[in-house]
Amino acid sequence: MTIHPLQTPITQLPGIGPKRADAFGRLGIFTFKDLLFHFPRAHEDRTVFKKIIELAHDETVCIKATVVSSMQTNLIRKNMRISSLRVSDGTGFLELIWFNNRFLDNRFKKGETYIFYGKVRLTPKKQMVTPIFETPGNQKQTGRIVPLYPLTEGLTENIVSDCVQQAFARSGQLKDPLPGALRSAYQLCEINYALTNIHFPTGRKEYEIARRRLAFEEMFTFQVALCSLKKRQASRPGARLTVSPEPFLQSLPFAPTGAQKRVIDEIITDLASGTSMNRLVCGDVGSGKTAVAAAAMYTTVESGYQAAFMAPTEILAIQHYEGLQKMFRSHNIEIELLSGSLTAAQRRRALARIQAGEVQIVVGTHALLSDDVHFNRLGLAITDEQHRFGVNQRRALSEKGDNTHILVMSATPIPRTLAFIIYGDLDVSIIDELPPGRQKIDTFAVGENYRKRIYDFLAKELLAGRQAYIVCPLVEESDVLELESVTEYAQKLQKSFPDTPIGILHGKMKPAEKDAVMSAFKQGDLRILVATSVIEVGVDVPNATFMLIENAERYGLSQLHQLRGRVGRGTEKSYCILLSQSNQETAVNRLQVMKNQSNGFAIAEEDLKQRGPGEFFGTRQHGLPAFKLAGVFSDMELLSKTSQAAKDYVTGKIPLTEEEKSLLQEKINALFNNHVTIS
């Protein structure tokens, strides 16, 4: 059987033995195709040449200069060797500096000309530190735009770049998965031009043409899959659940807001329609999403079906279990908690009750997806915190029943128009109103000179019996960012508060360890929790009234808002202090938005407006598509176009040949693990 050139193993390339193949494997690269679609993370423009007299501090450029003196080497301390070389281009002199590089001793000849590329510094004489160098006429790394690839141990930029070039030479012309009519309508280049110029662009314009085309393809593929899912789900029958949730709403100790009522009406209409619901409820922290979900569960249970509620962590599952028990106390509804910490005997008993239909609502973690969990009559599957569960996990839970209704909850405020595009397979409901009386969290944006006052205020809160969060950006020390690690920070803090139990929480801890720390904090055994942003979603600790966010300028506004939402959950006044090391006007202005604004959706809009391109949420944990090139927020105009193009395709306005459909299906299979078939 003949192998398609794109499927050729990279081990067929010269220089790739077992060790280097393993290194590529760590990056998910096994074939020529993987290489061609391993896009650069950035490019360096090495086409700019300057004369030495023109050089400015901190700019990175190429110069063409002649060596005017021999290499000078100085040993300034043990293991620190500095080599320096003086060059000139007739307009001035430049000193080139290298550290601990013994291979340069006999590399340069006085009187010969070279091309150097590096960063200039004026100290006060002109220097270029650790420059790349080549001889004129033999240039591979200078005089062009150079791709910078994601790497791993054992691979360099040159190795990856050379392998990509060889794969191009051997792969021949690729067939384009985007039909000509679509490319013409949206002014997109063809695939071979795009791949060539994303790796080795001849100029900025060529790169942008290539990136736009490939970003469009990523988004279009994703949106076609979502539209296909939605089309399929729209024809999927669902149980008609027609019982009104009014008795449940009347029993609540508060009156639902107008936004809650509107969203509940949308859900109840779905449940009664005879078609399976597939709806996202997006609401700000404290907007009352759980009560909305409970109303849906009430209608489901009173219609003779079971409901499942899946949370991302055990401690969140326990919190929901306890909250729902209070809500349903007067309604004779049996609720079961299913989590990994149950004993074997407890689990067997719980599973038997669920299968027999003795339990109407089951709350749990991923444990709900286990093969031995069998429902008697599952009618509604709810997943909390949408960004922790993908399409496949939602489907796995819903398949525990027949044509189960799906409700997805998210506490991540997303601008309304964007939500409808990103979650194209879901109908979207937004709770954009907070209950009356919800406490405003006093927010302050200050500099390092306030630290003593901050600690004094923290001491008063602790003395009053309160608890506190302190958020640090990094887990481990970083010489580059000069930010303290969580562990080291906690050790220093302990000296200031010697009698206060302090815990630490970060993303590298195992789930069981995180749950244990959060439980100890919730129960009051720990008074201060020093954590990374892993605490931004989830657990209610009503006694926590104080939050200090270190290096607040490093977070997105939406992420800061999520973090701030961890306090103000009880009856006592709460405070959030944003401590910044930056005096830059943009950083100061961004933090002022947090000080003056408490509406998560307004903050999300402002975040998008201010930051523009880049990571809108500050992390990639929020369940947004993990595109290689496209940015959900930086490419919003493109996102809108691909959304329309996908709808046109699904409704038959853009016909595809069988070959084009096959190529598109192949891409969708890779994105959704073979779970989505396009029509």
Choose among 473, 453, 413, 448: nearest CA to 575: 453
Closest CA to 632 of 650, 647, 644, 620: 620
Q: What are phi and psi of 87, to 5 degrees?
A: -130, 165
Domain 48-143 has CATH 1.10.150.120: no
pLDDT at 664: 82
| pLDDT tens sequence across 56-110 | 999 999 999 999 999 998 887 777 889 999 999 999 999 999 998 888 878 899 9
Confidence of residue 617 (pLDDT cuts 50, 70, 90): very low
- Whether 240 shows a pLDDT value over 90: the answer reads yes
Q: Distance from CA of residue 479 to its chain's centroid?
A: 24
Is the CB of residue 121 less than 8 Å from the CB of residue 127?
A: yes
Whether 48-143 shares its CATH topology with 442-611 is answered: no
Strands 278-283 and 145-148: unpaired
Which has the closest alpha carbon to 671: 242, 229, 273, 263? 229
**Cβ distance 26 to 89 under 8 Å?**
no
Whether the per-residue pLDDT at 1 is higher than 50: the answer is no
Residue 613 pLDDT > 50, yes or no? no
286: number of CA atoms within 13 Å, CB side? 24
For 444-503, write each residue's pLDDT tens digit. 999 989 999 999 999 999 999 999 999 987 655 544 444 568 888 999 999 999 999 999
The superfamily CATH assigns to domain 442-611 is P-loop containing nucleotide triphosphate hydrolases (3.40.50.300)
Q: What is residue 479's predicted lDDT score, i.e. its pLDDT?
A: 44
Which DSSP string do the residues of 354-399 spell out, in sequence order? HHHT--SEEEESGGGGSTT---SSEEEEEESSGGGS-HHHHHHHHT
Q: What is the mean pLDDT of residues 624-643?
A: 74
pLDDT per residue as tens digits for the range 500-542:
999 998 877 887 888 889 889 999 999 999 998 777 566 789 9
Classify 674 in phi/psi space as left (phi over 0), alpha (psi -120 to 50) or beta.
left
Amino acid at 636: M
- What is the pLDDT, as a whole number, of residue 434? 78
Question: For residue 432, what pLDDT band results from cuts at 50, 70 and 90?
Answer: confident
CATH class of domain segment(s) 246-431 = alpha beta
Distance CA 47, CA 159 (A): 21
Order of strands across the sheet that contains 528-531: 442-446, 575-579, 544-549, 467-471, 528-531, 502-505
pLDDT band at 357 (very low <50, low <70, confident <90, very high): very high
Q: Could you tell me which residues come within 8 angstroms of residue 198 by beta carbon, excluding any fewer than 6 positions away?
A: 39, 40, 207, 210, 211, 214, 629
Q: Please tell me the total number of residues recorded for the chain in this structure.
A: 679
| E strand or H helix that includes residue 113 | strand 113-122
| Contact between 486 and 475 (Cβ < 8 Å) | yes
Across 303-331, average pLDDT: 91
| Whether residue 8 has pLDDT greater than 70 | yes
Q: What is the pLDDT of residue 538?
A: 62
Distance separating alpha carbons of residues 143 and 679, to the nearest angstrom: 48
Distance CA 414, CA 535 (A): 19
Question: Does residue 414 have a pLDDT over 60?
Answer: yes
Q: How far apart are CA 597 and CA 80, in angstroms?
A: 51
Give kind and range of the element (H or E) at residue 222: helix 204-234
Closest CA to 38 of 189, 205, 155: 155
16-30, 355-369, 397-411, 599-613: which range is least confident on average? 599-613
- Using an 8 Å Cβ cutoff, are 309 and 293 in contact? yes
Beta bridge partners of 88: 66, 93
Q: Render pLDDT for 374-389 as a digit per residue (tens, 0 to 9).
A: 999 999 999 986 555 5
**Dist. CA 639–CA 633, nearest whole Å:** 8
Dihedral (CA of 187, 191, 192, 194) sign: positive
End-to-end CA distance of the chain: 30
Residue for token digits 């950083």? 587
Those residues with Cβ within 8 angstroms of residue 409's Cβ, 6 or more apart along the chain or in another chain:
280, 281, 283, 289, 293, 382, 383, 384, 385, 386
Q: What is the pLDDT of residues 110-152, one digit of tens each?
A: 999 999 999 999 988 899 999 999 999 888 888 888 899 989 9
Closest CA to 409 of 623, 674, 216: 623
The average pLDDT across 222-246 equals 84
- Residue 187 makes CB contacts below 8 A (sequence gap 6+) with none
Is the backbone peptide bond immediately before 124 cis, with ω within 30 degrees of 0? yes
Judge whether residue 621 has pLDDT over 60.
no
Mean pLDDT of the chain: 86
Residue spans of the domains in the chain: they are 48-143, 173-235+635-679, 246-431, 442-611
Give just the sign of the alpha carbon dihedral 475, 40, 418, 661: negative
Tokens 């420059």 found at:
131
CA torsion, ordered 645, 648, 649, 652, to nearest 10 deg: -160
Closest among 188, 186, 211 to 198, alpha carbons compared: 211
pLDDT greater than 70 at residue 623 = no
Q: Indicate whether 615 pLDDT > 60.
A: no
Query: What's the whole-number mean pLDDT along residues 621-641?
Result: 68
Rounded Cα distance between 568 and 542, Å, is: 7
**Tokens encoding 468:** 């506190």
At 581, the pLDDT band (50, 70, 90 cuts) reads: confident
CA dist 472 to 266, 547, 580, 592, Å? Answer: 40, 11, 12, 20
% the chain with pLDDT above 70: 90
